[in-house]
Amino acid sequence: MNKKYAPLFENFTLKPEVQLKNRLVMAPMTNFSSNPDGRVSDAELAYYARRAKDVSMVITACTYVTENGKGFHGEFGADRDDLIPSLHSLASTIKEQGAKAILQIFHGGRECPPELVPNGDIVSASAVPSERAGVKTPRALREGEVESLIRDFGEATRRAIEAGYDGVEIHGANGYIIQQFFSPHSNRREDRWGGSLENRLNFPLAVVDEVQKTVAKYADKPFIVGYRFSPEEPETPGITMADTLFLIDNLAQKNLDYLHVSLQDFRSTPKRGVEDSRTRLEIIQERVGHLVPVIGVGSIYTVEDAFEALESGVPLIALGRGLIIEPDWVEKVASGREDDIETKIDKDAQDRLVIPDPLWQAIINTPGWFPGV
């Protein structure tokens, strides 16, 4: 190994009794490849097994916590107990390769396709549609439904514990329901779940509290709880960098095991809310990195990309598209073959890369999503 890159392979203590073998994590990425009944498919298991061997931790694709929260075709579920064996199969596959298995739990809210939700009953914080063409206006959740949804995140966490996961990641990013409650665009409520910035924070914090309460009740060994968030929204009104600093100041007081920043590019800078020319990642790390570990992600393809992200101060780096393109990314760096890392998708290599067909079709039919397409 090139000694320059040795810091990527240092151990990291995520929490007492939880050691990560290196600083490299597989990012959560939807793969559209689960069975229609919400169970993990064999193709998915093969896909994860191919990529879990050398990273320290695998964060799965998001899994819905309620039936009306399914956000993607081919998404696997964690909304009922009969899916625990399915969840277990994925946890076991990841852990057999030597990585920690983290289940990302979510609800799609207004972003759910109506055909995937019972009776097409799309719900959100408020009856405000997203700013995409042709979308359906959601129904605002009633107070009792909000409280029930919070409990559903706890129940999905219990299933993750029973299925053998090492932790869960609360998906509060990418415009899904937790972010919908925090956003002034999607949350126009006038009760305790909305209105002021402080009230819009109540739902995300209640989900964190419920998940941690569930862990305390059911986990018989250290169990990781992380939280993923998106720093800004393009809409007006929308989440600004200033809002996000308020969010993470509060999350940092919750004894979470990590915060995971969802970014398309780790080098991106704030659009509004702060006067600061540094990257979002650097700002976030300075703000809360001394209180909670931060995972950085976004357009990391080469080892130099990863090393640059690490130099921003964050202790952990997530590989997303880079690990789909190059499943042997970590091993190649470890063995001094970083120059052999593929950074563009090979359109003739689906079988070699062990990519399920639904994900493969999405990649090759979405120009600009992956380098080489």
Taking the C-alpha atoms of residue 248 and residue 76, their distance in angstroms, rounded to an integer, is 29
Contacts of residue 192, defined as CB under 8 A and 6 or more positions apart, other chains included, come to: 199, 202
In a domain, 117, yes or no: yes
Confidence (pLDDT) at 257: 98
Confidence (pLDDT) at 211: 99
Confidence (pLDDT) at 193: 98
Amino acid at 111: E
In a domain, 102, yes or no: yes
In the numeric block, the tokens 């970083």 are attached to 338
Confidence (pLDDT) at 35: 98
- Active site amino acids: 176
In a domain, 371, yes or no: no
Confidence (pLDDT) at 112: 98
Which tokens sit at 347?
């359109």
Amino acid at 318: A
pLDDT tens digit at each of 373 positions of the chain: 999 999 999 999 999 899 999 999 999 999 999 999 999 999 999 999 999 999 999 999 999 999 999 999 999 999 999 999 999 999 999 999 999 999 999 999 999 999 999 999 999 999 999 999 999 999 999 999 999 999 999 999 999 999 999 999 999 999 999 999 999 999 999 999 998 999 999 999 999 999 999 999 999 999 999 999 999 999 999 999 999 999 999 999 999 999 999 999 999 999 999 999 999 999 999 999 999 999 999 999 999 999 999 999 999 999 999 999 999 999 999 999 999 999 999 999 999 999 999 999 999 999 999 999 9
Confidence (pLDDT) at 70: 98
Confidence (pLDDT) at 29: 97
Separate counts of helices (H) and strands (E) for the chain: 13, 12
In a domain, 369, yes or no: no
The answer to whether the Cα torsion of 197, 202, 207, 210 is positive or negative is: positive
In a domain, 372, yes or no: no
DSSP 263-322: -S-TT----SSS---S-HHHHHHHHHTTTS-EEE-SS--SHHHHHHHHHTT-SEEEESHH
Which tokens sit at 122?
């799309």
Give the chain's domain count: 1
Helix (H, G, I), strand (E, B) or coil at 26: strand
In a domain, 67, yes or no: yes
Taking the C-alpha atoms of residue 233 and residue 368, their distance in angstroms, rounded to an integer, is 21
DSSP β-bridge partners for residue 105: 63, 170
Exposure letters 276-315 (e unless 16+ CB within 10 A, then b): eeebbbbbbbeebbebbbbbbbbbbbbbebbbebbebebb
DSSP strand pairing (294-296 vs 139-140): unpaired
CATH number for position 278 = 3.20.20.70
In a domain, 370, yes or no: no
In a 10 Å sphere around its CB, with 0-12 CB exposed, 13-18 middle and 19+ buried, how is residue 151 labelled? middle
* CB-CB contact of 233 with 239 (8 Å): yes
In a domain, 373, yes or no: no
Taking the C-alpha atoms of residue 8 and residue 307, their distance in angstroms, rounded to an integer, is 7
Beta-carbon count within 10 A of 37 CB: 10
**What domain range includes position 22?**
3-364
